[in-house]
Amino acid sequence: MKKVLVTIIVMVVVMAAAALGVIYGGAYDVAASTSDSPLVRWALTTTRENAVKREAQGIEVPESVHQPDQALLRRGFVHYDDMCVTCHAAPGVDPGEIRAGLNPKPPRLARRASKRSLAELFWVSKHGIRMTGMPAWGETHSDEELWAVVAFVKHLPKLSAQEYAAMREQADNAGHQHEGHAH
């Protein structure tokens, strides 16, 4: 029994030393231009997906977001068009240059929004996701504003390129109000 315990302790010490060697030696390639190995990609993606699901549990979705009216969708659109389209694109709108340099690539929400619950979209919008380029918009926006964005993101897959362009033109003509936020 003593030999087994000593062997386990030695293995833990060796693994800790190896981990510290990688950490302090800069041996892991952190460049955004380098793709992760399939194993690392799986570990990071699985961790992210399960963490978002866990964190979103218990978030109460306002009734207005379940059945959004046009005013809420317009409000969400203004924020989405200012803050999100550069990385996540939109129907008829290609993402900006920033997206090309991000690793992992942000999802195109017109295609992927249906895969997340309203609570998950809210949690991600409010808290962001480390090491992905997804900011924590809860630092600069109220929950009410973020729920408007969530309502719009859920509506996004239903929009055509022409409808998105019409919303953009309508917002531009209305003066694109930002409720005091500088975007």
Question: Residue 118 above 80 pLDDT?
Answer: yes
Closest-CA residue to 145 (of 181, 97, 113): 181
Confirm whether 179 is domain-assigned.
Answer: no
Contacts of 36 (CB under 8 A, 6+ apart): 44, 103, 104
More confident residue, 127 or 113: 127
Structure tokens at 61: 């979705």
Domain count, the chain: 1
Per-residue pLDDT at 116 exceeds 70: yes
CATH number at residue 103: 1.10.760.10
Q: Which of 28-32, 55-59, 96-100 has the lowest mean pLDDT?
A: 28-32
User: What single string gives the DSSP state of each residue in 102-157?
Assistant: -SSPPP-HHHHGGGS-HHHHHHHHHH-BTTTTB--GGGTS-HHHHHHHHHHHHHGG
- With cut-offs at 50, 70 and 90, classify the pLDDT of residue 182: very low
pTM as predicted: 0.84
- Amino acid 174: pLDDT: 81
State yes or no: pLDDT of 18 exceeds 60.
yes
Confirm whether 92 is domain-assigned: yes
pLDDT at position 183 over 80: no
Whether 102 is covered by a domain: the verdict is yes
**Residue 7 in domain:** no
Per-residue pLDDT tens over the stretch 58-110 = 999 999 999 999 999 999 999 999 999 999 999 999 999 999 999 999 999 99
Query: Is 30 part of a structural domain of the chain?
Result: no
Q: How far apart are CA 72 and CA 147, in angstroms?
A: 9
pLDDT at residue 172, rounded to an integer: 86
- Within a domain: residue 94? yes
Q: How far does CA 51 lie from the centroid of its chain? A: 12
pLDDT tops 60 at residue 181: no
pLDDT averaged over every residue in the chain = 92
Assigned domain for 183 exists: no
**Structural domain for 88, as ranges:** 59-173
Residue 31 lies in a domain: no
Is the preceding peptide bond at 104 cis, omega within 30 degrees of 0?
Answer: yes
- Give 176's pLDDT tier (boundaries 50, 70, 90): low
pLDDT (average), residues 155-183: 80
Q: Distance of alpha carbon 2 from its chain centroid, rounded?
A: 49
